[in-house]
A = this chain, B = another copy of it.
Amino acid sequence: MTRPSDSPVDEESCHRILRALDILGVRWTGPILLAGARGARRFKEYRALVPGISDPQLTLRLKQLQSRGLMERTVVPSTPVQITYALTPDAEELISALQPLSHWSERNLPTRSEA
């Protein structure tokens, strides 16, 4: 079966990866987190950076991310009240952990506009 001990195949690693995928595997959550990483803060900015998402879904996913501790909602009491959604440090770590996916993607999904 060839299972080298450095691969992420052991039970514990698998379960932990699965737990992370429980978050990232939910529709829109990945793109929303990436939008946050790219500087989105306000509702309409997320909507602009996550093409195709609908208002109800954005509302719902932002709430879920808050309850998972990955997004922080802040009400700024400016002249018209502003509401900002910022990634928590946890979420930023999560996005850092996605870095290898970028390299994998570069090697394995060069379909168009690449090399």
Chain A residues within CB distance 8 Å of chain B: 1, 3, 7-9, 11-14, 16-21, 24-27, 29-31, 34, 37-39, 69, 90, 92-109
Considering the chains assembled together, what is the distance between the CA atoms of A16 and B104 in angstroms? 8
A97 and B101 contact, CB distance less than 8 A: yes
A103 x B108 contact (CB < 8 A): no
Known: A20-B98, A93-B107; 5 extra A-B contacts, CB below 8 A, are A14-B34, A16-B109, A21-B98, A93-B108, A94-B101
Most chain B beta-carbon neighbours within 10 Å: one of A1, A17, A18:
A17
The 4 closest A-B pairs by CB, nearest first: A16-B105, A97-B100, A21-B30, A20-B101
- B25 and A37 contacting across the interface, CB-CB below 8 Å: no
Contact, CB under 8 Å: B21 / A31: yes
Residues on B with C-beta less than 8 A from A37 are: 7-9, 14
Distance (Å) between the CB of A64 and the closest chain B CB? 14
Asked if B108 contacts A8 (CB within 8 A), the reply is: no
Partner of A13, one of B26, B102, B109: B102
